[in-house]
Structure 1
Amino acid sequence: MSHQRRLKAPKRLKTEERVTDDDQERVTDDGQDAPAAPAPAPAPLADGIFSTDVFASVAGLSPNLVRQLEYMGFKTMTAIQQLSIPVVLKGNDTLIRCQTGSGKTLAFLVPAFQKLFALEEQDSRISREAGTRLLLLSPTRELCHQTMSVASKLAQMVPSVVVSSITGGEKKKSEKARLRKGVTVLGCTPGRLLDHLETTAAFNTAELSTVVLDEADRLLDLGFEKKLRRIYDMLCDKKASHDSAEAFKQSIRDGTADHDTSVAPDRPAKKGLEKEGAPFQVVMVSATLTPAVERLGSFLLRRDPKWVGFGVKDEPEDGQQVAREGAGSVAMDLPTHLHQYYVEVTCKTRLVVLMALLLQKCQSGKVIVFLSSCDSVDYHHELLSTIRWPSLKALQGRSAAARPDRRPVSDARQQAIARKFFAKMGRRGKAKAADDMDDMDDAEELSDEDLDGDHAAVATDEAEWAEMVGLPVFADVKLFKLHGNLERHDREGYLADFTRQRRAILLATDVAARGLDLPHVDWIVKKLDKSVAWCASAADAVPWHRARLRNDTAGA
């Protein structure tokens, strides 16, 4: 909702869509005016979601892996999986461009796990002491844990594969202990991974074969570009140093070592690395092709790189050409089943409109409200949890101030009484609301020593407050919040509880904006600002949407 001076009926924005199999998510409008998009790859089916091919038809996939996919409920591939899996299986460094919710998780997990299944089938039992073979980088803890839950299910057919994650939120000592024992498939956030690469000597990446950057555009939006480049360089150095040392040891065993060289090289020359790329496969997944994504792709993808997906070029461009194109190369695909609306409201009516919308929409489904900061999430969560309907007595106009036998109460004391009353309501819970209002008649229980004046009068005023308010406004709807300042277990618990509910409201920052699997979400509410419409200010966003609405209507 934007800062405007008049309230208008919601207006619908047409968009494009593709929905997902495993990454279902509703997103708000976040595109921009751009040159005509390249023609998308032809979809085998009319809806463009699923292809007609099954996983069993992919050459090179292990029958055991196919059976595990079918056991998990995945038999038919999505369009992006059909495009990307054969390319990644060949070992090419790959950039996969697809919108969130198109099945991208399996698009990179299936080829990566094929390498593990192949090792197991060759009687080369995978040992956790060999260290990490598959590394998955995600922008947020929640997305990382979601991806690793899918990876854990795929790994059930290979008991020797250890799946774990390091994302912070727990003691670093416990993370070091897991890395010391060995983790075959490791999910992580960039900051935590870089920390362990620099400080954990027992972190073994000698057998690393695949590195995946999930939601690469989001990683760059969060400012991780320098860390990603540093991580890449460190992984290359550690891998190449190990390979050089092993080759030197083998030459000694074979008797072919150069006698003039007494020790193995500590650091491999980077000259060959610049041309040949890393000694492991790199896969990037992104919903948008921003200049930053293309620059990072040009830096990371060096081993016969392939760019696959909807509306991408067959081959990457060089870094200079990417820099020249600038923001004009940004493109985004939005889900076709996503219907978008906007409402112009004044600043002082924004909260009222939001409350009305939530009351209307949350009665039949789930709603996510995105807010700008952690403090805003906490404020709105507290507000929605404690706000109550006025009682019949209040509607009839009966109040303490209207009674001649009651001495006037100052505004400051009224506010203090109100704060105390609503705090009590919030602490005791909605289920005891009726009992709480009866308890308000007990002057001894409700006396407030922090307030000046007559305690009996204060208690009586609190009883009056109890008579003036009714049941909680959102008594039948579960309220949840999610932001970066919450403890790890609280964040995981809120997400799990919200997913299980039939009717619920989730108040969140952009930590929940990308990649999370939150099924059956009917509505998403977000303020239109420059991050959505790529405008200089919120006021500029509305004309942008108006112009787009007129263009869509004219073309309909």
Structure 2
Amino acid sequence: MAAGAGPRGIGAQPGALKRKLQSPHGNPPEKRQRKPSLNTFRKGATEADRRGKGNPPQKPVPKKQLTDNRNESQKSRPFIKTSSLFKNNPDIPEIHRKAVQQVQENVFTTDSFSQLDLHPHLISTINTVLNISSMTSVQKQTIPVLLQGRDALVRSQTGSGKTLAYGIPLVQSLQGMESKIQRSDGPYALILVPTRELALQSFDTMQKLLKPFTWIVPGVLMGGEKRKSEKARLRKGINILISTPGRLVDHIKSTECIHFHHTQWLIIDEADRILDLGFEKDVAVILNTLNAHRETRQNVLLSATLTEGVTRLADISLNDPVSISIADEIQKVLKPASQKDREASSSSNCTEQENFAVPEKLKQYFVMVPSKLRLVTLAAFILGKCKFEKHHKMIIFFSSCEQVEFYYDLLVKVLAGGPELEQPGHSSPSSVSLRFLRLHGDMEQEERTEVFQEFLKSKTGVLLCTCFRDEDGEGVNQPDER
């Protein structure tokens, strides 16, 4: 009984299960969803990979997996980064510029200094110490006028020899005085210059001219020097005083030993630069002080350009001056008579065409570029002019001391050094030509003087500098002003 029950029970079990799975309406039952096993995942992943080779996968790939795949692909190929430096730049606007005619001055003449009525020792010093044999155009016209004792308004290009144009007649006049000059007499001549660097240049020139006449003592006053040592020099006596306007006004107000009882010469060099730097009030204070001590003197005003400010300064400082303008005379010679008639008949409201003269070897460049291209444009220009061409000196002006320091550090590391010099085939002379120097108002005066002299004496170099007023009330000079 028990044995028979067993087989029937076992045999009846499939039927019972079948009946349970059937629905009461006779429809086939839904298949039960099984839980996928680990092997199923592996199999599915393998099939998905196979399908992925031909068709894109249906399910999105996780972000982490995409990142890993991207990193692996970047490691397998070289790194290439496309810069947007030269893309999406704004259009360069058109700048309205005045009609300017550039005039080339004939700097040198065939006349020698021996043709002038000068002291023989002075002529010998010019020929041997300064190594100059012939006069420039501005010297040829200015020296005879100043030797006559006349006031003069001299307009000539920068670098044409204006320092000697007034320095030679000044020394000739002082050494020939009936009563020999004493150091304790104080200043017989006052020379105003806009910047410290030009003050040093003028002082050096005057020292060379005065070598045969040791009893005439030159001196310089400028910002950056110790006032105590300058006061000591003033107490001992300075006969030719070269100074920047700001420092001289400072001594006029605070130094008791300074006086102008014997001052017979007032020379204002680079008058346009003095006014551009905002020294007009200081010059007015100096003129009032000189007039209070001595009204009669010989006045000379020198400038590269003739602006309204220079004309106004000439009106208050010069007495019946002789006007000397080399550029205007050359333009009159070159301009035909018919053109003069047309200009004379033109209406008064028309803007007069300006003209200017620059040294023949001085090249000036002007390029309008977007802000983000300034650095790469400047670097390419420096390389093109100084590294691949020999004997080039370049001056680059910036608007602030911080910009000078930034570009100096960057250009020294990128252009003046780097791994390219260590590679074979790169010679050192090409790197030596790329010497960078900096000059601005935040530097100590001793360092400024050293940099300035180094740039003057070198045949190659790039000077990064500012051309605005510094904290002491004097400007940082363009080194080509001499």
Q: TM-score range by the shorter chain?
A: 0.5 to 0.7
Match of 1:352, as an amino acid? V
Match of 1:349 in 2: 373
Q: Do the aligned partners of 1:93 and 1:306 also contact (CA within 8 Å) in 2? A: yes
Q: How many residues align?
A: 356
- Of structures 1 and 2, the larger Rg is shown by 2
Q: Do the aligned partners of 2:105 and 2:357 also contact (CA within 8 Å) in 1? A: no
Superposed CA offset, 1:191-219 (max 9, x none):
11111122222113211111110000000
CA separation in 2, counterparts of 1:129 and 1:483? 36
CA separation in 2, counterparts of 1:218 and 1:135? 17
Aligned mate of 2:356, from 332, 346, 354? 332
Aligned pair in 2 of structure 1 residues 205, 47: CA closer, same or farther (>3 Å)?
Answer: closer
Aligned mate of 2:403, from 353, 356, 376? 376
Match of 1:247 in 2: none
Aligned mate of 2:439, from 474, 477, 482? 482
Match of 1:189, as an amino acid? T
CA separation in 1, counterparts of 2:105 and 2:355? 21
Mapping of 1:387-406 within 5 angstroms? 387=414
Does residue 385 (structure 1) correspond to residue 412 (structure 2)? The answer is yes
Aligned mate of 2:135, from 77, 82, 90? 77
Superposed CA offset, 1:492-545 (max 9, x none):
11112223434322111123326535xxxxxxxxxxxxxxxxxxxxxxxxxxxx
CA separation in 1, counterparts of 2:383 and 2:98? 34
CA separation in 2, counterparts of 1:485 and 1:325? 46
With structure 2 as the length reference, what TM-score do the two structures score? 0.67
Match of 2:61 in 1: none
Match of 2:337 in 1: none
Aligned pair in 2 of structure 1 residues 4, 345: CA closer, same or farther (>3 Å)?
Answer: farther
Aligned pair in 2 of structure 1 residues 341, 207: CA closer, same or farther (>3 Å)?
Answer: closer
Measured after TM superposition, the shift of residue 285 of structure 1 is: 0.3
CA separation in 1, counterparts of 2:182 and 2:199? 23
Match of 2:268 in 1: 213
Aligned pair in 2 of structure 1 residues 381, 340: CA closer, same or farther (>3 Å)?
Answer: closer
Give identity over the alignment, percent: 37
Q: Do the aligned partners of 1:289 and 1:331 also contact (CA within 8 Å) in 2? A: no
Superposed CA offset, 1:283-331 (max 9, x none):
00000110110011011102x3211122559xxxxxxxxxx99996965
Measured after TM superposition, the shift of residue 232 of structure 1 is: 0.6
CA separation in 1, counterparts of 2:101 and 2:372? 39
Q: Do the aligned partners of 1:291 and 1:326 also contact (CA within 8 Å) in 2? A: no
Partner of 2:359, secondary structure, is coil
Mapping of 1:405-444 within 5 angstroms? none
Mapping of 1:20-39 within 5 angstroms? 33=98
Greater RCO, 1 or 2 (C-alpha within 8 Å, sep 6+): 1
Partner of 1:136, secondary structure, is strand
Measured after TM superposition, the shift of residue 6 of structure 1 is: 6.6
Does residue 307 (structure 1) correspond to residue 323 (structure 2)? The answer is yes
Match of 1:355, as an amino acid? A
Match of 2:299, as an amino acid? V
Does residue 66 (structure 1) correspond to residue 123 (structure 2)? The answer is yes
Q: Do the aligned partners of 1:372 and 1:509 also contact (CA within 8 Å) in 2? A: yes
CA separation in 2, counterparts of 1:212 and 1:325? 36
Aligned pair in 2 of structure 1 residues 111, 219: CA closer, same or farther (>3 Å)?
Answer: same
Q: Do the aligned partners of 1:164 and 1:185 also contact (CA within 8 Å) in 2? A: yes
Measured after TM superposition, the shift of residue 173 of structure 1 is: 1.1
Measured after TM superposition, the shift of residue 166 of structure 1 is: 0.5
CA separation in 1, counterparts of 2:212 and 2:463? 36
Does residue 113 (structure 1) correspond to residue 147 (structure 2)? The answer is no
Match of 1:141 in 2: 196
Aligned pair in 2 of structure 1 residues 384, 35: CA closer, same or farther (>3 Å)?
Answer: closer
Q: Do the aligned partners of 1:290 and 1:330 also contact (CA within 8 Å) in 2? A: no
Does residue 297 (structure 1) correspond to residue 314 (structure 2)? The answer is yes
Match of 1:271 in 2: none
Q: Do the aligned partners of 1:5 and 1:344 also contact (CA within 8 Å) in 2? A: no
Superposed CA offset, 1:56-115 (max 9, x none):
2123x2222222211221221111111111111111111110010111111111111111
Q: Do the aligned partners of 1:6 and 1:344 also contact (CA within 8 Å) in 2? A: no
Does residue 493 (structure 1) correspond to residue 450 (structure 2)? The answer is yes
Match of 1:248 in 2: none
Q: Do the aligned partners of 1:128 and 1:183 also contact (CA within 8 Å) in 2? A: yes
CA separation in 1, counterparts of 2:269 and 2:418? 49
CA separation in 2, counterparts of 1:308 and 1:360? 39
CA separation in 2, counterparts of 1:338 and 1:168? 29
Match of 2:22 in 1: none
CA separation in 2, counterparts of 1:367 and 1:514? 10
Q: Which moved further from structure 2: 87-96 or 491-500? A: 491-500
Mapping of 1:181-196 within 5 angstroms? 181-196=236-251
Partner of 1:332, secondary structure, is strand
Give the unaligned 5+ runs of structure 1: 8-30, 41-45, 240-277, 314-323, 393-429, 435-470, 518-556
Aligned mate of 2:183, from 101, 117, 128? 128
CA separation in 1, counterparts of 2:208 and 2:273? 26
Match of 2:209 in 1: 154
Partner of 2:210, secondary structure, is helix
CA separation in 2, counterparts of 1:4 and 1:80? 47
Match of 2:304, as an amino acid? A
Considering only aligned residues, what root-mean-square deviation do their CA atoms show, in Å? 3.3
Match of 2:306, as an amino acid? L
Match of 1:384, as an amino acid? L
Mapping of 1:407-556 within 5 angstroms? 477-510=434-467, 511-513=476-478, 515-516=480-481
Q: Do the aligned partners of 1:366 and 1:503 also contact (CA within 8 Å) in 2? A: yes
Match of 2:58 in 1: none
